[in-house]
Structure 1
């Protein structure tokens, strides 16, 4: 059955009714696969969001461009200008881990904002690095305050990353935000994984909350070996004279060729 792309109002209305699915995708192929698989939400790169082919690949996925600009130290003005461009390119919302003041500015311009609480990778030095946040009452209160600040700033959603499931669930029940879990349990409103983890393409560390469904890294390795073998055969054929063969070149009538050679012989 055909589906329509959800709106912010639709996502809010679904809070507490069913779990939404979210993926981080970085290519048109991944976006198309997510669309055909029925994934609800996509986190995408700026380049992918600005690609005019993106909506052909994923017409009904709710798309939230990521925070590349913010991670480069952009000012509020720059973030706003970028958000306007992304929205014009059919972004449904923008992800922003900048200050509450910046988020409020985006919301004032009617740009839907998804914030971030718990383990925020770009701000992780303040919470002790890449580890769970909320395992003590004090740090759980910090996550709660982060959520309330985003509500007051006008965000409609937030990623909640590596927070104990019980803490995340208790917060989600008391918040109007659409809370998107990254390792924060099923008591939130959506589950979020990176496509590279789902597909088994991540050759480094897999986070605890990741689940691998395929081993495409092995398939990529196999294809790479096939590339190398083909290139070696090609180079070998050149060295042996097997390439190019007669069927790879264009012939010329013998009489015409003699005329051309006669012409060349008369040239200085």
Structure 2
């Protein structure tokens, strides 16, 4: 555990620092990375020993409460902000909240501007789903030497502008194996083999929960079946609600044990007083 000051200059500790992740190159050690989406999932990831997190900026307070020492990235989607100044402002806000790096898909100039301010910048190579229109749809990358070299060129350009880390998605595993030790950029492999510095997978995929896709992608290996439990909870909830509705409609509920009764003799006194009641104010 390393003692640091976070980017808001608060004393803190981290399981990994930016320097530690860069030093993974050639070490033979591979970390795990996941994207917990709520407090329960953050806690589960901590208890399971997941090394690195990537979350929404609005989750940073929960992360720093429940996983105060975990290296955690935040960021923004490509279309979330219009202007460069808005993106920079959001990046600083994420860092103030406790993020350790910031994810962006915007231009090389934007990446360089962030890096020049001292922000550890993460970007994305291989399949970038946001840009799948340009590719003719979702597909694998780097399966030909020509395309593999194009991905390498992009990675080196990112390195030149100061990018610290990249998500490497659906890139042929041979390509990542060949290039990982030829770049200082930290690589998070998602469906790109074991050649990265960390292996990233979506929590929902790992746990066997509902996917964004009707057919989960090839790399979405389920190590559990939490989806079955979600379905069981849903089915039991529907069954319970249906029974409640039916019992009320049939005049059976509320049941006697669920009701409150008056003390002995009080009902008769109340009914007698009710019959005699007249308004105090006319």
Q: Same fold (TM over 0.5)?
A: yes
Q: Report how far residue 152 of structure 1 moved.
A: 1.3
Distance 1:126 1:171, change over 3 A: farther
Indicate if the aligned counterparts of 1:48 and 1:54 stay in contact, CA closer than 8 A. yes
Q: Report how far residue 181 of structure 1 moved.
A: 0.7
* 1:67 equivalent among 34, 59, 76: 76
TM-score, with structure 1 as normaliser: 0.90
Q: Report how far residue 67 of structure 1 moved.
A: 3.1
| Aligned 1:218-257 pairs, distance under 5 A | 218-252=228-262, 253-254=266-267, 255-256=269-270
Indicate if the aligned counterparts of 1:66 and 1:95 stay in contact, CA closer than 8 A. yes
- When structure 1 is superposed on structure 2, of 7-16 and 188-197 the one drifting more is 7-16
More helix by share: 1
Q: Report how far residue 66 of structure 1 moved.
A: 4.2
Indicate if the aligned counterparts of 1:133 and 1:140 stay in contact, CA closer than 8 A. yes
Q: Tell me, which stretches of 5 or more residues in structure 1 are unaligned?
A: none
Indicate if the aligned counterparts of 1:196 and 1:202 stay in contact, CA closer than 8 A. yes
Distance 1:108 1:4, change over 3 A: closer
Partner of 1:169: 177
| Aligned 1:33-52 pairs, distance under 5 A | 33-49=44-60, 52=61
Indicate if the aligned counterparts of 2:75 and 2:94 stay in contact, CA closer than 8 A. no
SS at match of 1:201: coil
Q: Tell me, which stretches of 5 or more residues in structure 2 are unaligned?
A: 3-12
Kindly report the root-mean-square deviation, in angstroms, between the aligned alpha carbons of the 2 structures: 2.4
SS at match of 2:53: strand
Question: 1 CA distance for matches of 2:259 and 2:32?
Answer: 54
Indicate if the aligned counterparts of 2:14 and 2:71 stay in contact, CA closer than 8 A. no
Indicate whether 1:205 and 2:219 are aligned.
no
Question: 1 CA distance for matches of 2:281 and 2:157?
Answer: 85
- When structure 1 is superposed on structure 2, of 218-227 and 239-248 the one drifting more is 239-248
Question: 1 CA distance for matches of 2:228 and 2:130?
Answer: 31
TM-score, with structure 2 as normaliser: 0.85
* 2:97 equivalent among 89, 101, 123: 89
Partner of 1:134: 142
Q: Report how far residue 132 of structure 1 moved.
A: 1.6
SS at match of 2:201: strand
SS at match of 1:25: coil
- When structure 1 is superposed on structure 2, of 211-220 and 40-49 the one drifting more is 40-49
Partner of 2:119: 111
Indicate if the aligned counterparts of 1:71 and 1:122 stay in contact, CA closer than 8 A. no
Question: 2 CA distance for matches of 1:264 and 1:60?
Answer: 69
Question: 2 CA distance for matches of 1:136 and 1:157?
Answer: 24
Question: 2 CA distance for matches of 1:266 and 1:48?
Answer: 57
Partner of 1:120: 128
Question: 2 CA distance for matches of 1:246 and 1:53?
Answer: 44
Q: Paired residues, what number?
A: 265
